[in-house]
A and B are shown apart, each in its own frame.
Chain A
């Protein structure tokens, strides 16, 4: 088990957002976290990366036999431990150049291979080479998404938290992004993927959790969930009549 969350209770201001959320992510998986707007998906990711702190529960990361208590680590040490968070709405640094954004992704790295990895990102996303010195704020939405993913990968994460990469993108762009997510997994980075677009997410995920009003309501292998009537009704926009044989 790479990541395990146990019984997380998270409050944002006066509202109780997560109610005893538990989930696990195995090394090498793509795990999808599905659910409607406001179900607590983003809050879960923010808690893993340390930007939000729970009132109760545990969050642990296991790496090479070492177990880290994420709730005791400052955000920068969670990043250093190998968790990269590609946040909702991309949040690239619009006033910084594309190259500067990538450099910031590698902020904590002291090894000499940052330049090599930047070159690797430009191979993966050729637009980042083309616009290397342009401001990130002038990229299109899809290009910004690619930059946001590349920036997150620059920290050489073991676990990548991806929050709604398909949001606001054209369908063929979404397809390209999902292909890249699979490639990221194949290169050895585990992915926890938050999506509202359940159908597409289930195509690439190994397992999935479904959240409803701050609780995990359903979980299991992606194939099984894709065929699950409850999920189809709630999130895939398929009415029971249509799926009835």
Chain B
């Protein structure tokens, strides 16, 4: 195995892992604070991709502006979903929220088909983003480098927010004990909305990056990657942000390794492999890598 080949696989794993990590963090954050497995989260990725399509390709804004706009939009959308779909049934049994999230997911996908058509659209980023660079024998596009760097910056920013700011600490306090958080004067609904906003922003950013890599977008594109990001969150230990990032990169590397090592004929089984890996890890570590013992809240 040549050094260039190895570096190539590492880069591929980093790119795929970045995407999973961005989406998994949102899953984990939302679960952590409202104990909700939000299946509509993957569809925020899709909306992010379509928003990027409009902003970047139709209006031709520069990349940094598109990133900011798409993230803002994702944040607003996720808060809106929380407000309309989840907030009215706060305190209801967990399964209600789960079913609601499936409903929201199907609604968003079908609205997408209705309003934007189910036909895949080409998503061609400006040429400079698609140009190839040679890096010690490995080939990497500018977009892939941008994906890795932007993801790391965003995750760093998220960590600083959650660890160091008043609102970030309040979010963690609420996730741990909503009643005690209320006694501090923290508005629980606002803390929850913050988690949705952050998760939505990251998912929409992932949509932009994913669409650029895939070269096409369609209304159902969020579903399977969303499921895999959920797997990443579970592997990391749902509720743990570091775990979600770890799970995301682990899944990215595992998938790349699988595709790279096995004969090409098996490449189409990569999703089966991903879910098999999930089952294996959960058999050994029922709470994921960094998850605490499952506590159900009454």
Interface positions of A (Cβ within 8 A of B): 49, 51, 74-76, 79-80, 84-85, 87, 91-96, 100, 103-105, 107-108, 151, 155
Q: What is the distance, in angstroms, from B252's C-beta to the closest C-beta of chain A?
A: 27
Q: What is the distance, in angstroms, from A84's C-beta to the closest C-beta of chain B?
A: 8
Judge whether B140 is part of the interface by a CB distance below 8 angstroms: no
- A212 to B294 Cα, complex, angstroms: 37
Number of A-B contacts defined by CB within 8 Å: 60
* Partner of A104 from B179, B181, B187 at Cβ < 8 Å: B181
Judge whether B170 is part of the interface by a CB distance below 8 angstroms: yes
On chain B, the number of residues with a Cβ less than 8 Å from chain A's Cβ atoms is 16
Provide 19 A-B residue pairs closer than 8 Å at the C-beta atoms, listed in order of the A residue: A51-B183, A75-B185, A76-B186, A76-B187, A80-B185, A84-B183, A85-B183, A87-B179, A91-B177, A92-B180, A93-B176, A94-B176, A100-B169, A103-B166, A104-B169, A104-B173, A104-B181, A105-B184, A108-B185
Judge whether B96 is part of the interface by a CB distance below 8 angstroms: no
Judge whether B89 is part of the interface by a CB distance below 8 angstroms: no
Q: What is the distance, in angstroms, from A32's C-beta to the closest C-beta of chain B?
A: 21
List of B residues within 8 angstroms of A100 by Cβ: 169, 172-173
Asked if A95 and B172 sit within 8 Å, CB to CB, the answer is yes
Looking at chain B's contact residues, the main secondary structure is helix
Asked if B172 and A93 sit within 8 Å, CB to CB, the answer is yes
Chain B 160-195: CB-based contact to A (< 8 A → 1; otherwise 0): 000000100110110011011111111100000000
The verdict on A104 contacting B170 (CB below 8 Å), with A75-B182, A75-B183, A76-B185 known, is yes
The verdict on A49 contacting B173 (CB below 8 Å), with A103-B166, A107-B166 known, is no
The verdict on A107 contacting B185 (CB below 8 Å), with A95-B172, A96-B169, A96-B172 known, is yes
The verdict on A91 contacting B180 (CB below 8 Å), with A96-B173, A103-B166 known, is yes
Asked if B176 and A96 sit within 8 Å, CB to CB, the answer is yes
- A80 to B187 Cα, complex, angstroms: 12
